Amino acid sequence: MRIGIVCYPTYGGSGVLATELGQALAKRGHSVHFVTYAQPMRLDRFQDNIYYHEVETPTYPLLEFNLYTLALAGKIIDVVKYEQLDVLHVHYAIPHAISGYLSKEILGPKAPKLITTLHGTDITLVGLEPSFHPLVKFSLERSDMVTAVSGFLQEKTRQNFGQDLPIRVIPNFVDTALYQRADCPQLARHVKTDGEFVLMHISNFRPVKRVQDCVRILAKVRETVKAKLVLVGDGPERSDVERLVRELNVQDHVLFLGKQSALPDILSIADIFLLPSQQESFGLSALEAMSCGVPVVATNIGGIPEVVEHGESGYIAELGDVSRMAKYCVELLTNTKKLNVFREKARERAVTKFDIDLIVPMYEALYDEAVSK
């Protein structure tokens, strides 16, 4: 099949998932065409069957605001004409589903089937902006198929955009062969300078991630066990987090690694993954951690309980309850037997429920169904 993929190319779950889906589809023999404004972050090496089409947004003194939505629609039309796409799969509704719809209308009968995958804040936050809401609703109604990454997001979309919308749930996935615990003695020596336990958090440091709670959890955990917090990623909250680290006097126990690409290695030195988010439609970073055998301590928010089973592969607490999250960490770190059982369960859940080879065929079946409609 000839598949177009539109996504954000940046450091974020929807772009990561879209890129890995494209790479997996290419391996399975499909031609995959990425259409976006920059090379997707994880599309970092040559792979057969993968093509990248960059969207350039024209500028002109009168055009004070960037017209990416229109430029993207124009580029999609171009790619469809020359590459004869069967399906166009857009990830994150804003503005991708709208550009997809526009291109579909202009292309007429030659248009590929439009599949929209909803990832989170396109529905729960940005899509609720009064000026965007009617556009998102319309583009969902006009997509040939709509998927959501969790049951939570399916329900939220129906509540906010129409109870009758036919939305399928196709959960996010992880390549469990790639994301597995590896021996990284050098990295471990560099990080665990005092043989301490490692709490880890990976995100784009946006306010919804509540990275500050990770620092507060570390400070509480350190009242009982020796632990270090490793923070991976970067974003708008970074300076504020650094300030809090100094305020709580834990600067010797927090390591900022910035944006990293070798995540399986880095996750391999973690004992617990922290995800204290305020919003999370799925929590792909938690799943990647689980695949590396790292139990997760997270909030009871959005789609997280569909990924992390409380008391099995991790623990779930109420939003902002840092004392409880710290207590859960201490419970695991002071009981090696329990920690090992949780590690095994975390890995097992990733392998049996969310492995790439279980989920990618669901998208293939969806494309087949859309094309034969």
Give residues in contact with ligand GMT (CB under 6 A): 8, 12-15, 17, 119-122, 149, 172, 208, 279-284, 302
Nearest approach in angstroms of CB 147 to ligand GMT is 11
88 versus 301: smaller Cβ distance to ligand GMT: 301
Locate tokens 């020359």: which residue? 82
Nearest approach in angstroms of CB 341 to ligand GMT is 26
The answer to whether 27 touches 55, Cβ cutoff 8 Å, is no
Helix or strand or coil: residue 308? coil
What one-character DSSP code corresponds to residue 106? H
Nearest approach in angstroms of CB 364 to ligand GMT is 19
In the chain, the amino acid numbered 72 is L
Residues 6+ apart with CB under 8 A from 257: 230, 231, 232, 266
Nearest approach in angstroms of CB 236 to ligand GMT is 13
166 versus 207: smaller Cβ distance to ligand GMT: 207
326 versus 359: smaller Cβ distance to ligand GMT: 359
31 versus 172: smaller Cβ distance to ligand GMT: 172
Distance CA 339, CA 336 (A): 5
Strand pairing report for 227-232 and 197-202: parallel
31 versus 154: smaller Cβ distance to ligand GMT: 154
Q: How far apart are the first and last CA of the chain?
A: 15
The answer to whether 100 touches 6, Cβ cutoff 8 Å, is yes
CA 371, chain centre distance (Å): 27
Q: Return the residue nearest ligand GMT (CB atom).
A: 120
Residues 6+ apart with CB under 8 A from 65: none
Nearest approach in angstroms of CB 206 to ligand GMT is 7
Nearest approach in angstroms of CB 81 to ligand GMT is 29
Instruction: Name the phi and psi angles at 201, rounded to 5.
Output: -140, 135
31 versus 291: smaller Cβ distance to ligand GMT: 291
